[in-house]
Amino acid sequence: MAGQLLVLDNVTAGYGLGDVLHGVDLAVSEGEVVCLIGPNGAGKSTVLRTVSGLLRPGGGRVLLRGEPVDALSPRERLLRGIAHVPQERSLFPAMSVWDNLLMGGHILPGSRGGRADVRRRADVIAERFPIVAARRGDAAGSLSGGEQKQVELARALMLDPALMLLDEPSIGLEPRARHAVFETVRSLADGGRTILLVEQNARSGLAVSDRGAIMESGRVRLTGSGVSLLADPRVARLYLGAGGGTRKEEV
């Protein structure tokens, strides 16, 4: 299909004790936001790791713009535009917010990586993330979890990535910070960013996504538009909380 940025074709992968992914097929088009949902242990984070290169697939292919990237290192994939924001905190806590942001750009090769270019890009991004401007000199570790997540998202944007992989960005955050994360994802989506998102807050995740993909036991079982999955009674019963009502922990 034209415009497909990322394709996973029959991908198998695991951590040495047998496969966790048992033939994952998934495609993400340019400019599309796709949300992976499913029970704990279904393999959602593992899918993101096979895309960013933290894990090599045992079988199948991962294609970026039609070219296999399976053999590339995480760094090489980053340079091709795949930015992974992991679930766990990933800022350097003793470094300032600003230096953390600049770190996001230093991998840029050649002239794109010139210090002035990196600073200019950081200035542009700081305008979009008020927390970066407000706390730029503070140690990143002194920020709340939600604020750190915003800085992580800002840092990932330093490379102007072709594809953002966001692993449960709302997990563990209090409601206001969770809301802010979904607002950020929505504004990235509105700006045309291509995103593969993993979310436990399935309702909120699907609401900011063009499409959802439901994973179970290492396979994608069902895909559909975010709107259609939200309206599907089986999906509502299994993944969105009984009766389709908004669960307390959701935005």
Ligand X SMILES: Nc1ncnc2c1ncn2[C@@H]1O[C@H](COP(=O)(O)OP(=O)(O)OP(=O)(O)O)[C@@H](O)[C@H]1O
- Judged by CB under 6 A, which stretch of 43-51, 100-108, 120-128, 151-159 contacts ligand X? 43-51
Nearest approach, Cβ of residue 201 and ligand X (Å): 11
43 binds ligand X per the rule CB under 6 A: yes
Q: Which is nearer to ligand X, 10 or 217 (by Cβ)?
A: 217
**Size (the chain), residues:** 251
Q: Which is nearer to ligand X, 21 or 154 (by Cβ)?
A: 21
Among 1, 2, 18, 40, binds ligand X (CB under 6 A): 40
Nearest approach, Cβ of residue 200 and ligand X (Å): 6
Query: By CB under 6 A, what part of segment 5-34 binds ligand X?
Result: 15, 20
42 binds ligand X per the rule CB under 6 A: yes
Q: Which is nearer to ligand X, 10 or 142 (by Cβ)?
A: 10
Nearest approach, Cβ of residue 24 and ligand X (Å): 11
46 binds ligand X per the rule CB under 6 A: yes
Task: Count residues binding ligand X (CB under 6 A).
Answer: 10
Nearest approach, Cβ of residue 90 and ligand X (Å): 16
44 binds ligand X per the rule CB under 6 A: yes
Helices (H), 129-174: 130-134, 145-157
Among 41, 58, 130, 245, binds ligand X (CB under 6 A): 41
Q: At what angle do helices 145-157 and 175-190 cross, to 10 degrees?
A: 20
240 vs 158: CA distance, rounded Å: 34
45 binds ligand X per the rule CB under 6 A: yes
Beta bridge partners of 168: none
Tokens describing residue 247 = 């669960």
* Coil, helix or strand at residue 85: strand
For residues 85 and 45, the answer to whether their CB atoms sit within 8 Å is no
Q: Which long-range contacts (CB under 8 A, 24 or more apart) does 77-81 make?
A: 77/51, 77/52, 77/53, 78/52, 78/107, 78/159, 79/107, 79/109, 80/162, 81/159, 81/160, 81/161, 81/162, 81/163
Q: What is the β-pairing status of strands 211-216 and 33-37?
A: parallel
Binding site for ligand X (CB under 6 A): 15, 20, 38, 40-46
